Chain A
Amino acid sequence: MNAPLLKIDQLSASAGGAPVLHGVSLEVNAGEVHAIMGPNGSGKSTLAHVLAGRPGYVITGGTVRFDGADLLALPAEERARAGLFLGFQYPVEIPGVSNAYLLKAALNACRRQRGEQDIDAFDFLNLVRDKMRTMHIDEALLTRGVNEGFSGGEKKRNEILQMLVMEPRLALLDETDSGLDIDALKIVGRGINSLRAAERAVVVITHYQRLLDYVVPDQVHVLARGRIVRSGDRALALELERRGYDWLLEAAPAMA
């Protein structure tokens, strides 16, 4: 009943032959928002990718349970359908595949998982238009190729749009706030908040505490050199903004 939605236990992983994650442990309960901060290259995106099931990483230790199931045993698409959403730090462009097609395919994949029928074309349009308004995305982008020629900010808002359409149990948002202007940041913040619910959780990876003004986290973690070196409440983000990471890195021994 009270088991965490996501439970990462001593997770270690390597990428391209080099160890990147060194025993990460983290628990996220339903209803919570967590923020992960940390210096460049500390392993934040690696953690997100490993959780989402991207090929090319070798898990060298540890376990991850998501909603009670062994997450690492599932292929990427089943993790997504089970309700784990990754908002990409660098969303890719897919010319020739329309945004509308992808949104619908993603939604139907989730619906089938829940034993529901594919969405009717009319209902789909209504739903997407509604979410697009929330995200201030021009409807013309529906018929364009996925992220094709989108501005940096449009790509990030499009990630949140996909998230809103898929309604995941857990959203892992990798620097969705990077490169956004002030207004777009508010829009993205509002989008994330609109998903918050007792049965869902959000993990935002960010370099700036600014997003956390809009999406207020229950916990803040610092990932450095592949491990979580400190966790705290919102105040930790403010402290990091003031002091940087050096004081924490000195405390954390470098891995051999």
Chain B
Amino acid sequence: MKALERILADFGSPADAGPARLAAAEALSTHALPTRRDENWRYANLRALEAVRTFLPGPAPSISPALPPALPGYSRLVFIDGRLQPQHSLPDTALLGSLRRSAAGSADAGPVPFAFSGDGRFGLIARMFAPEPIALRVAGSLALELISITTAQACGSYLELDLELAAHAQLELVERHLGGAGPTGLSCVQVDLQLAEQAQSTHTRLLQGAPDALHYDTVAVTVGAGAQYLLRQVSAGAQTARSTIQVRLSGREARTQIRALATAHEAQVCDALFTVLHEAPGTRSDQLFRGIASDRAHVACSADVQVSAGAPGARVVQSLRGLIDGAGAEVDLRPRLTINTDEVQAAHGATTGRLDEDLLFYLLARGLSPVEARSLLKWAFLAEALNAIDAPALRRAAGQGAAARLADTPATELLQ
């Protein structure tokens, strides 16, 4: 049986499924999963899905996870294989009060093409199976860290988050996806984030799943008038990782800034699609991606910016760079910019190459060893993306994760 049929068979027709889950299953069976023939999925490793033994969520885990130190000022929710672990979480009372755990999820949002028939379809799997979907409405300000751990149970680990920011609300959201070593199954994450006018959110995502994990995540963000969405994403985990991110700048002068980096080595595949839709006047997007592929790894990034006819005065900045650091390594960058209105300012560039021999020699001529010189230059290559993470503890953790997937590990003193 093909993966899609097995997903649907594993889902079955559960009596207790709410309308959102049923709608998700229905949409998946109608529209099926993307294939490599789809423009935006050419580099995704979809074959890996065929090897998943079961799509069912695992039983309640009994492990006591090693958690990273708490982030000062943050509430924390810990999920293991998709199940909330209250004993490891550090929620404040305000958070608990506003937390709705219901399978109804985002059914009331109505079907959106991105999620139901477009690039967001992988999120449907998370929606179908997530044992404890989380819905949260933020009115004032909230700093929230979500830790999702996939254990070596070789079952599915699903997370669905539905976050809504009221006007002027502020959300510092940190997502950390971790995994234990061993045969992990599929990890599927769906995040919906809606920012009403003047809301602000910084969303930091550290994807550090186990080396043999399969991770597919989908993030759909809508940014209202005058609102600002900052995304920092470090993809440095899993055997196969695919991130599908869509940011809709739907309100006047909505803004987004994306700083993403990906590192992969051995035979890992790390692929991302960032879609930014400028739908209103005066919207701005600024996107930066840095990816390093070592050994035989494959890093891909598609960055698709669409400026609609209703978005005059939009500003678009895009910088994608890839570094190939292995005989069999591959980096594919695909910038796309579609502009359907006048008065748009756009600056974009995409380059892929190997380490610059002139820079390497300069460092050798200053007595640095070849290993030191190479890792220093790789570090420098990642610096702009990494330094966008403000919190030192997070930046360090992100740097360590990224460094672990380079061919040579940088000196720890660089991980500031």
Contact = CB atoms under 8 A, between A and B. Distances in A.
A171 to B, nearest CB: 12
Contacts of B363: 94, 102
A166 interface: yes
A208 B370 CA distance: 35
Given A96-B380, A105-B372, A166 B366 contact: yes
A80 B384 contact: no
A254 interface: no
B129 interface: no
B365 A86 contact: yes
Interface in B357-416: 357-359, 361-370, 372-373, 376-377, 379-384, 414
A162 B366 contact: yes
Interface string A149-191: 0000000000000100010000000000000000000000000
Q: How large is the interface on B (under 10, 10 to 19, 20 to 34, 35 or more residues)?
A: 20 to 34
A189 B134 CA distance: 68
A56 B358 CA distance: 11
A95 B359 CA distance: 10
Contacts of B382: 96
B364 A77 contact: yes
Interface in A64-99: 75-77, 80-81, 85-86, 88, 91-92, 94-97
Contacts of A106: 366-368
A110 interface: yes
Contact of B362 (A81, A94, A145): A94
A145 B377 CA distance: 12
Given A88-B362, A94-B359, A77 B370 contact: yes
A105 B361 CA distance: 15
A80 B364 CA distance: 8
Interface stretch (A47-55, A195-203, A243-251): A47-55
A80 B367 contact: yes
Contacts of A77: 364-365, 367-370, 373
B367 A75 contact: no
B356 to A, nearest CB: 8
Contacts of A166: 366-367
Contacts of A113: 367
A102 to B, nearest CB: 6
B362 A91 contact: yes
A109 interface: yes
A52 B364 CA distance: 9
Among B370, B376, B379, B382: residue with most chain A CB under 10 A: B376
A110 B376 CA distance: 18
B361 A54 contact: yes
Contacts of B383: 95-96
A76 B380 contact: no
B321 to A, nearest CB: 12
B367 A109 contact: yes
A110 B367 contact: yes
Interface string A99-117: 0011001100110010000
A159 to B, nearest CB: 10
A55 B368 CA distance: 15
Nearest to A145: B380
A56 B373 CA distance: 18
Contacts of B370: 75, 77
B380 A105 contact: no
A81 B361 contact: no
Nearest to B356: A92
A80 to B, nearest CB: 4
A53 B379 CA distance: 24
A81 B376 CA distance: 18
Contact of A52 (B359, B365, B384): B365
Contacts of B362: 88, 91-92, 94
B402 to A, nearest CB: 13
Contacts of A110: 367
Among B359, B368, B370, B381: residue with most chain A CB under 10 A: B368
A96 B377 CA distance: 8
A97 B376 contact: yes
B117 to A, nearest CB: 41
A32 to B, nearest CB: 22
Contacts of A56: 357
Contacts of B359: 92, 94
Interface in B89-118: none
A76 B377 contact: no
B384 A105 contact: no
Contacts of A92: 356, 358-359, 362
A76 B370 CA distance: 9
Nearest to B381: A96
Contact of B377 (A55, A81, A91, A94): A94
A99 B383 CA distance: 15
Contact of A95 (B358, B361, B369, B380): B380
Contact of B380 (A75, A91, A97, A162): A97
A96 B364 CA distance: 17
Contacts of B381: 96
Contacts of B376: 97, 101, 105
B364 A81 contact: no
Contacts of A94: 359, 362-363, 377, 380
Nearest to B373: A77
A105 B372 CA distance: 9
A75 B377 contact: no
Given A96-B381, A105-B372, A75 B365 contact: no
Nearest to A97: B380
Contacts of A52: 365
Nearest to B360: A55
A166 B370 CA distance: 18
5 contacts: A56-B357, A77-B367, A88-B362, A97-B380, A110-B367
Closest 5 pairs between A and B when the two form their complex, measured CB to CB: A96-B380, A109-B367, A96-B383, A106-B366, A76-B364
Given A56-B357, A105-B372, 7 more contacts: A55-B357, A75-B364, A76-B365, A92-B359, A92-B362, A101-B376, A109-B368
